[in-house]
Amino acid sequence: MSVPRFWRRLKNLYNLIGTRCEKCNEYYYPPRNMCPKCRRSGLMVPFKFKGFGEVLTYTVMHSSTKDYAKQTPYILAIIKLDEGPNLTSQVICSHKDIHIGMRVKSTFRRLGEESERGMIYYGTKFVPLINPSKEF
Amino acid sequence: MNVGIVSYGAYIPCYRIKIEEIAKVWGDNASSIIDGLMIYEKSVPDMDEDTITIAVEAARNAINRGGVNPERIEAVFTGSESHPYAVKPTSTVVAEAIGATPNLTAADFEFACKAGTAAVQACIGLAESGMIDLGLAIGSDVSQGAPGDALEYTAAAGGVAFIIGKEKTVAKIESTYSFTTDTPDFWRREGMPYPEHGGRFTGEPGYFKHVTSAASGLMDRMGTKPSDYKYAIFHQPNGKFPVRAAKMLGFSTEQIKPGLVVSRLGNTYSGSCMMGLAATLDIARPGDRIFVTAFGSGAGSDAFSIRVTDRIDEIRNGAPSVEELLANPIYINYATYAKHKGKIKL
C-alpha cells in the first residue's frame, strides 16, 4: 500500500467509519458514495460503527503473502457488524477457539509496514470479547 | 490544585512468558531469579502490537470508561521509551484513532519509566491554567531487554491512559512534586535495539535516592505522612524495589498491595507506576487518599497525592479492570516470545 493511499483511507481503517443511507437506513462498510438501493435519491452520511459483531465464517491461513508470513497460521473471518454490514478481517485468537457465532470486537493493530525503513500501517482487526455481558 | 483524573484506562497484551522458560534457555537458576526479582511471569506483545496500538487501546478504554467526548481532548501526550518511529509522533496516531483530531496539541515524551507521569504533569498544568479542557496522558511501552540480559526477565508490555481535567473527576490531584538529577543508571543510544544499564548502580543512586527524595519532598511540602494515605504505589521495575522503598518511607505492605501488579505482569516501563494506580483505582472507595511515586532512569521521580471522589463508583465498570486484563493469559515458549519480540532476524 502506498503512503497516499493509506493516508486517504486512514480514518476508515482506524475507526470503522463507513456510511449510512438516511433514506433506507442501510449501513455500509467500507463507505460508499451512493446507496445501491436508493441510487440517486439516497442520502449517504458518514457513520462510525461501534465495532461489535459476530463471526459469520472463517478460514485458517497457513500460506500467506510475505507481509503476513510471520503470523501464520492466522484467522481470516467474515464478520457481521451489529449494525448490519459484513466485512473481512483478521481475528486475533487461537484457531482452536474460533467458531461461527463468536462475539468479537474491533481492536487497533498493525496491519503491515512498507519496509523496515518505511511507513507502518495501522488499522482495525478483531478480537474475542473478554466479557460479552459488559461488551468489552 | 483544581484538576484531577476524569477517567482512566489500561491495556495489557494477552501473552505471558514465565521466568522459568527464559531461565531454561540461558541456563540460569529460575528460583533464584524469581526470589531476587519477585516476578513470576511477564506480558509479551503480539506480533502486530506495539507502543502505538497499546496506547490506543488504553486511551479508548479511558474514553469508554468515563463516557468522555474525545473532541473535548485538547492535548495528547504519550510517554514511552519504545516509540515505533524515531521521527513521527505516536501521539498523532493515538489522537486520530480516538477521534480527537484536529483541534489539539500533541507530542511524545521520553524519560525512561516515568515518561507517562511527566505527561500527566504537563496535562495538569495545561488543564489547571485553562489552556485546555481535557488532556490525555499515556504511558505505553513494549520494553526491550537484550537476549540473555537481566532485563529480559522483566521487560514487559502494557499501557495506561489518564484523562486529566477540572470537572467530573474520579480522583482529585492534590499536589505533585518532582526530583531530578543527571544519573546515568540506564540508557539506550540512538539506533541501538537494546538498552544498557549500570547493574546494581540502578538501585541506590538511581531508584531509591530519587523515589524517596520525591516522596519525602511531596509529603514535606503538603505536611502529610504515610498514615494519611489508604494506598501507595511506587514504580515497580521488579517486585522488591517498591516494597523496600515503601518500607524506607514508612508505608506498610497493605498500603502498596493493591497496586503491586509487577509479579504477574513484569515491568511495563512508562506504564508501570500508572498501571499500579489504575489497579488501585479499580478497588478504591470515595474519599481514599493515594500516594504515587514514579521513577525514570536518567534519573527522576514524580510524586503525586491523590484523593478519590464519589464519581469513581459511577464509572469504574465501564472498561476492563487491571485484574480482568491480567486474567486468562496465554503462555508462550521462548521461541514464540522471540518471534513476537522480533528477536529473530530473517
Cell numbers that stand for B333 in this block: 515458549
A59 shares a domain with A19: no
Q: What is the pLDDT of residue A130?
A: 74
Together in a domain, A81 and A33? no
CB contact under 8 A, B96 and A10: yes
Contact B57 A108 (CB under 8 A): yes
Sign of CA dihedral B250, B253, B257, B260: positive
Verify that A81 and A126 share a domain, yes or no. Answer: yes
Residue B161 lies in a domain: yes
Which portions of chain B are predicted below pLDDT 50?
none
Q: Is the pLDDT of residue A135 over 90?
A: no
CB pairs under 8 A between A and B: 52
Q: Which residues constitute the domain of residue B188?
A: 172-313
What is the residue whose three cell numbers read 460503527?
Answer: A49
- Chain B residues lying within 8 Å of A114, measured CB to CB: none
End-to-end CA distance of chain A: 31
Give me B335's grid cell. Answer: 521461541
Strand segments (E) across chain B: 4-11, 15-18, 41-44, 73-79, 105-109, 134-142, 157-165, 171-183, 186-187, 196-197, 231-234, 289-296, 298-308, 330-331
- My answer on whether A67 and A17 are in the same domain is no
**A95, part of any domain:** yes
**Residue A71 shares a structural domain with residue A116:** yes
- B325 found inside a domain: yes
Give the containing element (helix H, strand E) for A127: strand A120-128
Instruction: Match 486529566 to its residue by C-alpha cell.
Output: B164
Note if B210 is an active site residue. no
Same domain? For A124 and A95 the reply is yes
Q: Please tell me the distance from the alpha carbon of residue B23 to that of residue B152, in angstroms, as a whole number.
A: 10
pLDDT for the residue A136: 72
Structural domain including A59 reads 52-130
* CB atoms inside a 10 Å sphere around CB A93: 20
Chain A residue numbers touching B49 (CB-CB < 8 A): 109-110
Let me know whether B130 and B247 are in one domain: no
Give yes or no: residues B113 and B231 share one domain.
no
A136 found inside a domain: no
The number of domains in chain A is: 2
DSSP states of A1-65 = --HHHHHHHHHHHHH-EEEEETTT--EESS--SSBTTTBTT--EEEEE---EEEEEEEEEESS--
B305 plus B334 within the same structural domain: no
Q: Are residues B253 and B325 in the same domain?
A: no
Q: Are residues A37 and A70 in the same domain?
A: no
Q: Indicate if B105 and B166 belong to the same structural domain.
A: yes
Q: Is B113 a catalytic residue?
A: yes
Cα separation, A124 vs B94, in Å, equals 13
pLDDT in tens, A88-129: 999 999 888 999 999 999 999 999 998 889 999 999 999 998
Q: Classify residue A30: in a domain, yes or no.
A: yes
- Residue B38 is placed in which grid cell? 519477585
Residue B345 covered by a domain: no
B54 and B87 together in one domain: yes
Among B15, B48, B90, B138, the strongest candidate for a mutation testing the A interface, having the largest count of A CBs within 10 A, is: B48
Phi, psi dihedrals of residue B200, rounded to the nearest 5°: -65, -20
Q: Are residues A44 and A56 in the same domain?
A: no
Are B239 and B333 found together in one domain?
Answer: no
pTM: 0.96
The total domain count for chain B is 2
B235 is in an annotated binding site: yes
Same domain, B286 and B215: yes
Q: Taking all residues of chain A, what is their mean pLDDT, rounded to a whole number?
A: 93
Q: Are residues B279 and B335 in the same domain?
A: no
**Region of poorest pLDDT, from A67-71, A84-88, B168-172:** A67-71
Tracing cell 519477585 back to the chain, one arrives at B38
Residues A61 and A122 in one domain: yes
* Cα radius of gyration (chain A): 16
String of DSSP letters for B215-248: HHHHHHHHT--GGG-SEEEE--SSSSHHHHHHHH
**DSSP at B67:** T
Do A9 and A57 lie in one domain? The reply is: no
Residues B216 and B191 in one domain: yes
Judge whether A107 lies within some domain: yes
Q: How many CA atoms lie within 13 A of B149 on its CB side?
A: 15
**Percent of chain B that is helix, strand, coil (3-state, to 5):** 40, 25, 35
Q: Return the SS3 of A134.
A: coil
Whether residues A77 and A122 fall in one domain: yes
CATH code (residue B237): 3.40.47.10
In a domain, B268, yes or no: yes
B7 known member of a binding site: no
pLDDT on residue B329:
95
Are β-strands B73-79 and A120-128 bridged in parallel, bridged antiparallel, or unpaired?
A: unpaired
A135 within some domain: no
Answer yes or no: do B33 and B138 share one domain. yes
Nearest to B304 by CA among B268, B280, B321: B280
The secondary structure of A86-125 as a DSSP string is: EEEEEE-S-TTT--TT-EEEEEEEEEEES-SSSPEEEEEE
The ipTM (two decimal places) reads 0.95
CA distance B319 to B326: 14
Answer yes or no: do A63 and A123 share one domain: yes
Q: How many CB atoms lie within 10 A of CB B286?
A: 13
Q: Is residue B346 part of a domain?
A: no
Contact between B123 and B136 under an 8 Å Cβ cutoff? The reply is: yes
Question: Is residue B217 in a domain?
Answer: yes
